[in-house]
C-alpha cells in the first residue's frame, strides 16, 4: 500500500475532457456562429465595389491646392473640367481625304460631348505632315461618365480611312483607361492569390486534405474583411480605393495563412501529448495565441499609423488594412481551430501525429544551423549586415516621381500611346493645361500675375461662379518636366502675392507634384511613428528594452537592403521610369510590421526556452522548433505579395516586388541567422531589464 499524494496521470486531463460535454460541443457551436456570420457578411462584401472610389481626389493629399481646385471646379457651371484630346497619325504622311475625315469626326464628337459646338476646336497639323490633333472640352455628363464617354468617342472615330490611326487621349481618357484596369484587379487578384496559396500549402503539408482547411478559412476571412470595410464606410468618411482593396486581399491571404501555419505547427506538437484534438487545440492556442495576437496587433497598429498621412489613398489604407488583419486574426483563432478539431487527426493524413510518439527533429537543418551560428556568432551577424548595407546603396538616386504616362506596367493603353505621340509630334504644344482658381474680386490681378509668370505660354479667364473664377493656363514645357514643375511653383508664389491663400493652382501636373511632395512629408512623419508603435508592442510582449531595439534595427536594415535591391530590379531589369512616390512608405510599413512578426514568433519561443535552458541553448532550441514553420510562412507571404507583380499597374508591381524581396531577406537571412547570432552574442543581456536578464546565466560571447 502506498501513501501520500498520487503522481499526476497525464491522461487525467483527457479523461475529464471526455466527461465535459461543453468542451465537446464548443467547436460545433463556433462553426454554427460562423455560418451565420458569413451568410450575413456575404451581402455586405458584395457591396464593397459600390463604395470603392478611384477619382483623382481620392489619390491626392487632403490639404493640397490641387485637391481644392478639383473641389472648386465642381461648383462651376459644367462641373469638373473634362478634356479629350484626339490625335491622328499616318506614318507615311497624310493623304487627301484624311483631313476631311478628321473634321467629320471632330464635328461628331463636338455634337455628342462638347461644351461649345459653335466654335470647333482648332485642328493642328504636325511639322512633318504625318499627324493631326485637336482638343475637345467635355460637358458635365461626359465627365461624370468618363469611361462611357471615352468608349463612345473611340467608337465614333472608327469610321476613318484605312491606315489613318486615331488615338483618344487626354486627362479624361487616361482616367477611363485607368478605371478599366482597376475594374479587373480584384477578381484577378483573388483568383491568382488563392491558387498560389493553395499550391504552397499543398507543398508544405503534403496532405490531400489539410491544405483545404486554412485556404477555406482564409477565404472566409477575406469575405469578412470586405464586409467589415464596407460597414466602416457607412459609419466613417473612409476612402477605399482599388489600390487599398487589392492590398486588403493580399494582406488577408498572407497574414491569415501565416497564422494558420504557426497554429498548425503548435497543434501538431500538442497532438503528441493529448488524446483528444480539442485538448491539443486549446493547449496550442494557449501557447501560440499570444504570439499571433502580438503579431496581428503589430501589423494593425502599424497600419493605423497611416491615418497620420495626408495623402487620401494612403490614409484610407490604414483602417482598411487593419480591418483585414483583424478579420484574419478572428477567423484563424476561432473558425480555423474549430474546423481542425471537428476533422480530427485524420486531417493530417498520411502524416498523422500520434500521442506519445515524439516528432524526430533533433538533427533537423534548423538544429544544425543553430549550432553553426553558435560557433560563429559575430561572423553570422556581421557578414549579412554588411551585405544588406551594400544592397542599400541601390537606394542612391532613387526617383520618387513615376511619370503619369508610365504607370502602366505592360502594354500601354490608347490614351498613353496618343499622349506620347503628341509629345513627339508637337514639342511646342505638348504643355498640359493647368488650372488657376481665383476669387472673383481678384481675378484680373491674378490673370495678370499668371500671364507674367516665366514658363507660361498662354492664360485666359474661363468659367466663373459666385465664389470662383477659373483661369486656364498653358505652360511652355512638357508635362511633369523639371521646367514645368518650376513653373507651377512660380505660379503659386505669384498668385499668392496677389490674392493670398485664396488663389489656387491645380491641374494634372500640379496634382502629381502635390502627391510627390506629400508622400515625402508623410514618410518623415509616419515612418518614425510606425517604429515607435512597433517598439512599444515588442517591449510589452518581451518585457525588455534591448531585445525590441535589436529586432527593430534588424528589420529596418532589411528594409533598406530590400529597397536598394528592388530599385535595381525596377531600373535595370524591368525598365520602369521611376519609383512611385507612395511605394517606400507602404513598403516600409509592411516590411517593418511583417518582418517584426517573424521575430515575434521566434523570440517568444526563444524566451520560453531561455527561461529553462539559458539564452544560448534557448535560442538554438527556439530556432530548431520554429525555423521550418516560420520559413514556410515567410515564403507564403512573399508569394502572395509577389502576385501583385502580375497586375498591369507599376505602383502595385513595385509594392509587390519590394515586399516579397524584403520578406524573403528577412525570413531566410535576418530572422534565421542575424537575430539568433545577435541574441547568442549578447546572451542574457538581450532581455534587459526583465527578470530573465537578472537570473540569466549566459555571458556575452564574442566568438567568431
The continuous run of DSSP H or E covering 591 comes out as helix 583-613
The residue ranking higher by pLDDT, 159 or 15, is: 159
Digit-coded pLDDT (tens) for 127-175: 888 999 988 877 666 555 666 778 888 888 888 889 999 999 887 888 8
Report how far residue 163's alpha carbon sits from residue 87's, in angstroms, rounded to the nearest whole number: 14
Q: Which of 166, 145, 134, 132 is nearest to 82 (CA)?
A: 145
Report the percent of the chain where pLDDT is more than 90. Answer: 28
Average pLDDT over residues 467-475: 89
Rounded mean pLDDT of 277-287?
Answer: 91
Q: Which of 137-146, 213-222, 286-295, 662-671 bottoms out in mean pLDDT, i.e. has the lowest? A: 137-146
Architecture of the 416-513 domain:
2-Layer Sandwich (3.30)
Query: Which is more confidently placed, 12 or 611?
Result: 611
Give the pLDDT confidence score for residue 385 in this predicted structure.
Answer: 92
Answer whether residue 269 shows pLDDT above 70.
Answer: yes
pLDDT at position 687: 87
pLDDT value for 147: 65
The percent of residues above 70 in pLDDT, for the chain, comes to: 90
User: Residue ranges per domain, the chain?
Assistant: 21-51+184-359, 82-181, 363-415+519-704, 416-513
Q: What angle do CA 183, 187, 190 make, to 5 degrees?
A: 140
Fold: same for 21-51+184-359 and 363-415+519-704: yes
Calpha distance 427→483 (Å, rounded): 14
Instruction: State the pLDDT at residue 228.
Output: 93
Q: Whole-angstrom distance between the N-terminal and C-terminal Cα of the chain?
A: 59
Confidence class for position 432, pLDDT limits 50, 70, 90? confident
Q: What count of other Cβ atoms lies within 10 Å of the Cβ of residue 354?
A: 9
Give the CA distances from residue 484 to residues 30, 204, 447, 491, 589, in Å, rounded to whole numbers and listed in that order: 61, 54, 18, 10, 32
Q: What per-residue confidence (pLDDT) applies to 695?
A: 65
Distance CA 515, CA 507 (A): 12
pLDDT of residue 397: 63
**Least confident interval from 45-59, 159-173, 296-310:** 45-59
Is the dihedral angle over the CA atoms 191, 194, 197, 202 positive or is it negative? negative
The answer on pLDDT for 336 being more than 90 is: yes
Q: What are 562-586's pLDDT values in tens digits? A: 999 999 899 888 888 888 888 999 9
**Would you state the pLDDT for residue 139?**
65
pLDDT of amino acid 662: 93
- Asked which of 207-221, 344-358, 657-671 is least confident by mean pLDDT, the reply is 344-358
Cα distances (Å, whole numbers) of residue 58 to 251, 317, 409, 513: 21, 11, 21, 15
pLDDT given at position 357: 64
| Alpha carbon distance 490, 507 (integer Å) | 15
Residue 187, judged by CB atoms within 10 A of its CB (0-12, 13-18, 19+), counts as exposed
Q: What is the pLDDT confidence band of residue 119, given thresholds at 50, 70 and 90?
A: low
Q: Is CATH 1.20.1640.10 the right assignment for the domain spanning 363-415+519-704? A: yes
Work out the average pLDDT over 478-490.
Answer: 89
Is it the case that residue 1 has pLDDT exceeding 50? no
Average pLDDT over every residue of 62-71: 88
Q: Cβ(598)–Cβ(668) under 8 Å?
A: no
pLDDT band for 699, please (50, 70, 90 cuts). very low
- Evaluate whether 271 touches 355 at the Cβ level (below 8 Å): yes
**Three cell numbers written together for 560:** 533598406
pLDDT per position as a tens digit, 637-673: 899 899 888 888 898 899 999 999 999 999 889 989 9
Q: Are 108 and 156 in contact (CB under 8 A)?
A: yes
Q: In the chain, what is the greatest distance between 2 CA atoms, to the nearest angstrom? A: 118
Q: Which pTM was predicted?
A: 0.84
Residues 443-466: pLDDT tens digits?
A: 899 999 999 999 998 888 888 888
Determine the pLDDT at residue 704.
53
CATH number corresponding to 82-181: 3.30.70.120
pLDDT of res. 9: 47
| pLDDT for position 528 | 93
Question: Does the structure show a pLDDT above 50 at 498?
Answer: yes
Q: Is the pLDDT reported for residue 242 higher than 60?
A: yes
Tell which residue, 696, 536, 555, has the closest CA to residue 619: 696
Distance CA 31, CA 227 (A): 19
pLDDT, one tens digit per residue, over 169-207 is 887 888 888 878 777 676 778 888 889 889 888 888 888
Per-residue model confidence (pLDDT) at position 504: 92
Residue 74 pLDDT more than 50?
A: yes
Domain 21-51+184-359 has CATH 1.20.1640.10: yes
DSSP codes joined into one string, 62-120: TT-HHHHHHHHHTTSTT-S--EEEEEEE-TT---TTHHHHHHHHHHHHHHHHBS-SSSP
- What is the pLDDT of the chain when averaged over all its residues? 84
Among the ranges given (141-145, 412-416, 499-503), the one the predictor scored with the smallest mean pLDDT: 141-145
What pLDDT is stored for residue 11 in this prediction? 46
Reduced to 3 states, what is the DSSP secondary structure of residue 436? strand
- Predicted local distance difference test score (pLDDT) of residue 700: 46
Give yes or no for residue 5 having a pLDDT over 60: no
pLDDT above 60 for 362: no
Amino acid at each position: 500500500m502506498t501513501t501520500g499524494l498520487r503522481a499526476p496521470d497525464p491522461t487525467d486531463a483527457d479523461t475529464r475532457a471526455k466527461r465535459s460535454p461543453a468542451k465537446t460541443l464548443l467547436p460545433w457551436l463556433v462553426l454554427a456562429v460562423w455560418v451565420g456570420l458569413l451568410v450575413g457578411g456575404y451581402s455586405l462584401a458584395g457591396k464593397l465595389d459600390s463604395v470603392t472610389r478611384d477619382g483623382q481626389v481620392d489619390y491626392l493629399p487632403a490639404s493640397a491646392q490641387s485637391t481644392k481646385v478639383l473641389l472648386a471646379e465642381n461648383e462651376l457651371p459644367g462641373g469638373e473640367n473634362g478634356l479629350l484630346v484626339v490625335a491622328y497619325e499616318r506614318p507615311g504622311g497624310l493623304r487627301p481625304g484624311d483631313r476631311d475625315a478628321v473634321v467629320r469626326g471632330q464635328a461628331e464628337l463636338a455634337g455628342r460631348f462638347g461644351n461649345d459646338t459653335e466654335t470647333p476646336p482648332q485642328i493642328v497639323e504636325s511639322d512633318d505632315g504625318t499627324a493631326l490633333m485637336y482638343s475637345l472640352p467635355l460637358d458635365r455628363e461626359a465627365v461624370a461618365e468618363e469611361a462611357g464617354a471615352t468608349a463612345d468617342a473611340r467608337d465614333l472615330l472608327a469610321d476613318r480611312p484605312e491606315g489613318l490611326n486615331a488615338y483618344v487621349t487626354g486627362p479624361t481618357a487616361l482616367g477611363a483607361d485607368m478605371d478599366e484596369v482597376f475594374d479587373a484587379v480584384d477578381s484577378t487578384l483573388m483568383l491568382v492569390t488563392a491558387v498560389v496559396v493553395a499550391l504552397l500549402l499543398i507543398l508544405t503539408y503534403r496532405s490531400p486534405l489539410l491544405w483545404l482547411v486554412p485556404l477555406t478559412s482564409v477565404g472566409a476571412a477575406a469575405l469578412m474583411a470586405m464586409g467589415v470595410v464596407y460597414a466602416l464606410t457607412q459609419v466613417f468618411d473612409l476612402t477605399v480605393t482599388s489600390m487599398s482593396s487589392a492590398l486588403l486581399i493580399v494582406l488577408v491571404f498572407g497574414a491569415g495563412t501565416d497564422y494558420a501555419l504557426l497554429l498548425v505547427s503548435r497543434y501538431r506538437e500538442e497532438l503528441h501529448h493529448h488524446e483528444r484534438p480539442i485538448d491539443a487545440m486549446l493547449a496550442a492556442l494557449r501557447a501560440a495565441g499570444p504570439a499571433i495576437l502580438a503579431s496581428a496587433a503589430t501589423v494593425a497598429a502599424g497600419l493605423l499609423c497611416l491615418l497620420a498621412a495626408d495623402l487620401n489613398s494612403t490614409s484610407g489604407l490604414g483602417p482598411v488594412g487593419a480591418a483585414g488583419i483583424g478579420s484574419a486574426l478572428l477567423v484563424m483563432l476561432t473558425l480555423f481551430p474549430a474546423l481542425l478539431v471537428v476533422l480530427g487527426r485524420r486531417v493530417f493524413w498520411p502524416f498523422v501525429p500520434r500521442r506519445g510518439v515524439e516528432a524526430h527533429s533533433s538533427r533537423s537543418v534548423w538544429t544544425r544551423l543553430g549550432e553553426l551560428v553558435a560557433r560563429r556568432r559575430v561572423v553570422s551577424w556581421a557578414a549579412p549586415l554588411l551585405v544588406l548595407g551594400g544592397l542599400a546603396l541601390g537606394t542612391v538616386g532613387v526617383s520618387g516621381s513615376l511619370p503619369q504616362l508610365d504607370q502602366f506596367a505592360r502594354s500601354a493603353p490608347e490614351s498613353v500611346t496618343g499622349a506620347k505621340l503628341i509629345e513627339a509630334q508637337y514639342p511646342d504644344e505638348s504643355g498640359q493645361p493647368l488650372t488657376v482658381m481665383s476669387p472673383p474680386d481678384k481675378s484680373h490681378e491674378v490673370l495678370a500675375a499668371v500671364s507674367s509668370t516665366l514658363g507660361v505660354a498662354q492664360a485666359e479667364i474661363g468659367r466663373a461662379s459666385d465664389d470662383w473664377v477659373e483661369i486656364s493656363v498653358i505652360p511652355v514645357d512638357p508635362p511633369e518636366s523639371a521646367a514645368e514643375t518650376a513653373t507651377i511653383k512660380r505660379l503659386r508664389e505669384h498668385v499668392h502675392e496677389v490674392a493670398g491663400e485664396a488663389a489656387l493652382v491645380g491641374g494634372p501636373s500640379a496634382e502629381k507634384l502635390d502627391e510627390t511632395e506629400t508622400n515625402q512629408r508623410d514618410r518623415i512623419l509616419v515612418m518614425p511613428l510606425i517604429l515607435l508603435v512597433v517598439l512599444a508592442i515588442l517591449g510589452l510582449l518581451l518585457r525588455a528594452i534591448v531585445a525590441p531595439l535589436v529586432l527593430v534595427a534588424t528589420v529596418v536594415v532589411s528594409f533598406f537592403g530590400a529597397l536598394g535591391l528592388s530599385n535595381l530590379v525596377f531600373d535595370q531589369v524591368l525598365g520602369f521610369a521611376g519609383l512611385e512616390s507612395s511605394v517606400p512608405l507602404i513598403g516600409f510599413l509592411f516590411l517593418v510590421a511583417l518582418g517584426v512578426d517573424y521575430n515575434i514568433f521566434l523570440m517568444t519561443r526563444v524566451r520560453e526556452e531561455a527561461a529553462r535552458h539559458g539564452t544560448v541553448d534557448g535560442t538554438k532550441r527556439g530556432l530548431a522548433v520554429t525555423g521550418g514553420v516560420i520559413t514556410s510562412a515567410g515564403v507564403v507571404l512573399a508569394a502572395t505579395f509577389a502576385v501583385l507583380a502580375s497586375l498591369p499597374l507599376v505602383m502595385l508591381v513595385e509594392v509587390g516586388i519590394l515586399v516579397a524581396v524584403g520578406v524573403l531577406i528577412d525570413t531566410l537571412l535576418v530572422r534565421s541567422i542575424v537575430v539568433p547570432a545577435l541574441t547568442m552574442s549578447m546572451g542574457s543581456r538581450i532581455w534587459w531589464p526583465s527578470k530573465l536578464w537578472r537570473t540569466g546565466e549566459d555571458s556575452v560571447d564574442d566568438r567568431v
